[in-house]
Every structure is written in structure tokens, then in C-alpha cells.
Amino acid sequence: MNPKVINIDPEILGGTPVFNGTRVPIKNLFDYLAGGESIETFLDDFEGVTKEQVLKVLKFSEKLIRSSTNILKENFVG
């Protein structure tokens, strides 16, 4: 069984992607990491989100970046 990690529902925060089973936006994770916070701090601050969910979102993000190489080169790489 592979439960969904991300939920997008117009009834939850207007369709903002959140961790499944919570109202915690995925963006919050990236804001924490960009601000130098650890995954553990994020998990402490957002009860209900699991470490497994966080790791799956990060892994999925990595796959998206790898599969979007041409788009990245065209728009972000000098």
C-alpha cells in the first residue's frame, strides 16, 4: 500500500498542496529548510506530519528537478 503524501483539495486551504491528513502546506517545509531549520524542528512544529511524509516529498521534489532539466536550463541556468 502506498498512501498519498500530498493532498490538493479546494476545500482545504483553497487547494493549496498540503501533507495528506493535515492542513500543513507543503510550502512550509521548504520555507523551514530555506531558513536553515532542520526536518526535526519542522516535525516538532507541525504535529501530524510524519518524517516519512517529509522524506517522500523531498524525494519527489528531487525527481521533479531531475526530470525538468531542459525547463531549468531554459529558465534558470546561465
Q: What is the mean pLDDT of residues 47-58?
A: 96
Beta bridge pairs of residue 19:
6
pLDDT for the residue numbered 40: 98
pLDDT for the residue numbered 77: 67
The fold of the 6-75 domain, in CATH, is Arc Repressor Mutant, subunit A (1.10.10)
- Say how far apart CA 13 and CA 46 lie, in whole Å: 16
SS3 state at 45: helix
- Say how far apart CA 24 and CA 2 lie, in whole Å: 20
- pLDDT confidence tier of residue 2, bands split at 50, 70 and 90: low
Predicted TM-score (pTM) of this structure: 0.83
pLDDT for the residue numbered 22: 96
Q: What is the mean pLDDT of residues 28-36?
A: 98
Q: What residues does each domain of the chain span?
A: 6-75
